[in-house]
Structure 1
Amino acid sequence: MFSQDTIDFLAALRANNSRDWFEDNRKTYHAAVREPAREFAEALSELLEAWGQGPVTPKIFRINRDLRFSKDKTPYNTYVHMAFRPSVSGPDGPALMVGLEPGRLTLGAGIMRFGPRQLETWRETVAGPAGAMLQRDLDHLLERGASLSEPDLVRVPRPFAGDHPRSDLLRRKGMVVWRHTLATNMAYGPEGPARCQERLKAFSPIMIWLSETMHAV
């Protein structure tokens, strides 16, 4: 499971982000990051299934960065990112997310990027009464320390009014709500998955709304 060794390795990688350094420390990476991430993902998936999410598919994102379109050519990510998608949500539905890096544990829920049909459904839905329900749930989370990234668009897309009460949501091409303020040691040890699972429950209304809205798209 995750431990201070995980954070220490990621911090060292942040200071020495090169292929040579990584290859010299590959064994430490496997012991401190890769295997603990696999164990954490398996344990959290089981807890989420027992919580009633149905079968859950975990994904551990690669440590290698995609450099094709990036000016930053450092080869490795200096964090662990994982997504947990309940099968009931469908392959393009919402996922619960966990991120671990030096100084920060991040939990989240949502869909990073809507597909074309999803985006159309998203805009039509958030503009109507169901959007008011989602806004209420989001406001509840934001009041308790959660956060949203900035909207993708500067202006509200047509045909919606620029002063629509949910203009913030209409300007989004994906929707993930995050909680960044947790200490890294909350994810440590055998109890780490259970502590994270308990806090992921706060995102249940968002997961349900997105799953029901996007499932048939």
Structure 2
Amino acid sequence: MLTHHSLQFLRNLNQNNNREWFQANRQDYDKTKVEFENTCQEILNGISQFQPNLLNTTVKSCLLRINRDIRFSNDKSPYKKYIAAGFGPGGKSSGFVDYYLQIQPGESFLGGGMWSPTPTQLTNFRQEIDYNPQHLKGIIENSLFRDYYKEIHGEKVKKMPKGYPIDHPEIELLKYKQLFFVHRYSDEDVTHPNFANEVIEGCKILKPYLDYINEIFFGQTD
């Protein structure tokens, strides 16, 4: 499980984001990494029970590197302020729309959904809404789903997408060019012994929406 040690390490890293400090505190990072790996292994084991295509996925393949890619960034801080994992078949680089978990003091969350679709994928998404809006609405307006994922996140276009009338009954859904969901966790949630099970339940609730998106984008569920 994750402990207050891991959250404190991330707080300290945020205040001392340089290689000299990181190397001097490498043991604390290693402990944090082990705690996160163990937590992610529990989560992966749980998700695999309702998503069998994750059964052969290793936890190491799900973990994101803590090092930042600073080549094209004005911010030259070498490390991320968080630790994170992507849970998909084969790991974080599955190519599907998968579950994403980020741990950061005061800002931890589980999320997933349509983040950066290609133009073709976005067109297909809008066509599906136009053809059968009740499929998507039946998922995201379900009471269990809405209790856990309380709002839709994502950018919208200001004008109606080309090819759709301005008085379309699903105008607001059609305007989305991103559509994803997030559930946030407090630091107390993250360090609770039941945290892994809480994330597993969150993934189970999110799964119908991810299946919906993966079917539209790739012709198959994740």
With the length of structure 2 as denominator, give the TM-score of the two structures: 0.80
User: Deviations along 1:40-90, whole A, 9 cap, x unmatched?
Assistant: 22221111112x211224522221222233333322211122111257xx9
**2:106 aligned partner:** 103
Q: Runs of at least 4 residues of structure 1 off by over 4 A? A: 142-145
- What is the Cα-based RMSD across aligned positions, in Å? 2.7
**1:147 aligned partner:** 151
Q: Give % identity.
A: 24
User: Deviations along 1:24-53, whole A, 9 cap, x unmatched?
Assistant: 212211112x22222222221111112x21
Runs of 5+ consecutive residues of structure 1 not aligned to the other structure: none
Letter in 2 for 1:151: E
**1:65 aligned partner:** 68
Q: Which range moves more in the overlay, 3-12 or 137-146? A: 137-146
**1:55 aligned partner:** 53
The structural deviation recorded for 1:134 is 1.2
Match of 2:116 among 113, 124, 127: 113
Match of 1:215 among 200, 218, 221: 218
* Change over 3 Å in CA distance of 1:164–1:29 after alignment to 2: farther
Letter in 1 for 2:53: P
Give the distance between the partners of 1:96 and 1:173, measured in 2 at CA.
Answer: 19
Alignment of 1:1-217 (within 5 A): 1-32=1-32, 34-50=33-49, 52-56=50-54, 57=57, 59-86=62-89, 91-129=94-132, 131-140=133-142, 141-142=145-146, 146-180=150-184, 182-188=185-191, 191-216=194-219
Q: Which range moves more in the overlay, 112-121 or 72-81? A: 112-121
Between structures 1 and 2, the one with greater strand share: 1
Runs of 5+ consecutive residues of structure 2 not aligned to the other structure: none
